[in-house]
């Protein structure tokens, strides 16, 4: 896939603007969403959100102690956004589906965000009309079936995560 081999070469690091929070991704993400929903537009203050989905235990906190801020979500189930306690920049979110076990890391907080381009564009039905999507990247009007789009390795990692959660 697009980003996996590059991301494996050297660890991706990132953090907030004041640098109180710093973290490292211990390997490539499961999948990278570019979300064009109106909720992500509001929460980013821009036109889409770029989130790298990864197991929480593959995000190593190098510095800081982000605060989890309860925030409404489109599903109604809510999300928790991890923000620096000092500058308040958001570094990742937990959604109800994956719970604490999965983080949606905000790609723009990485030192080298260009290393994680989107694997899929979602909720393009509400995309800003001036945003032009690159050819060759899947794009769906709303959400999608994971089995249809995720690489086999990511599906296997997700199954392993589910098994661990069920057994704990």
Nearer to Zn ion, 40 or 90 (CB): 40
Residue 131 CB, nearest approach to Zn ion (Å): 13
Q: Which residue has the tokens 């235990």?
A: 57
Residue 99 CB, nearest approach to Zn ion (Å): 18
State the Cα–Cα distance between residues 14 and 105, nearest whole angstrom: 10
State the Cα–Cα distance between residues 84 and 90, nearest whole angstrom: 7
Q: Are 89 and 109 in contact (CB under 8 A)?
A: yes
Nearer to Zn ion, 18 or 62 (CB): 18
Determine the straight-line distance between the first and last CA of the chain, rounded to whole angstroms: 32
Nearer to Zn ion, 121 or 158 (CB): 121
- Binding mask 81-120 toward Zn ion (x if CB under 5 A, else -) reads ---x-xx---------------------------------
Residue whose C-alpha is closest to residue 87's, from 16, 159, 143: 16
- DSSP summary character for residue 155: H
Q: Which residue has the tokens 């203050």?
A: 45
Which window, 4-12, 77-85, 90-98, 128-136, contacts Zn ion (CB under 5 A)?
Answer: 77-85
Which window, 76-84, 97-105, 109-117, 143-151, contacts Zn ion (CB under 5 A)?
Answer: 76-84
Interface size with Zn ion, residues (CB under 5 A): 9
Nearer to Zn ion, 27 or 117 (CB): 117
Burial state string for 76-85 with b = 16 or more CB within 10 A and e = fewer than 16:
eeebbbbbbe
Nearer to Zn ion, 12 or 49 (CB): 49
Contact positions with Zn ion (CB under 5 A) in 10-69: 16, 18, 20, 35, 37, 40
State the Cα–Cα distance between residues 96 and 88, nearest whole angstrom: 22
* Binding stretches for Zn ion (CB under 5 A): 16, 18, 20, 35, 37, 40, 84, 86-87
């Amino acid at each position: 896939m697009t980003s996996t081999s590059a991301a494996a070469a050297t660890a991706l690091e990132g953090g907030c603007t004041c640098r109180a929070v710093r973290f490292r991704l211990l390997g490539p993400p499961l999948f990278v969403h570019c979300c064009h929903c109106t909720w992500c537009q509001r929460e980013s203050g821009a036109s889409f959100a770029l989130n790298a989905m990864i197991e929480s235990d593959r995000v190593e906190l190098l510095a800081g102690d982000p605060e989890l801020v309860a925030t409404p979500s489109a599903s109604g189930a809510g999300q928790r956004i991890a923000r620096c306690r000092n500058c308040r920049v958001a570094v990742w979110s937990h959604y109800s589906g994956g719970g604490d076990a999965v983080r949606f890391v905000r790609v723009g907080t990485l030192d080298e965000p260009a290393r994680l381009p989107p694997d899929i564009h979602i909720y393009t039905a509400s995309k800003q009309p001036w945003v032009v999507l690159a050819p060759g990247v899947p794009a769906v009007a709303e959400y999608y079936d994971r089995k249809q789009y995720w690489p086999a390795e990511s599906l296997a990692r997700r199954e392993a995560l589910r098994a661990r959660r069920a057994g704990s």
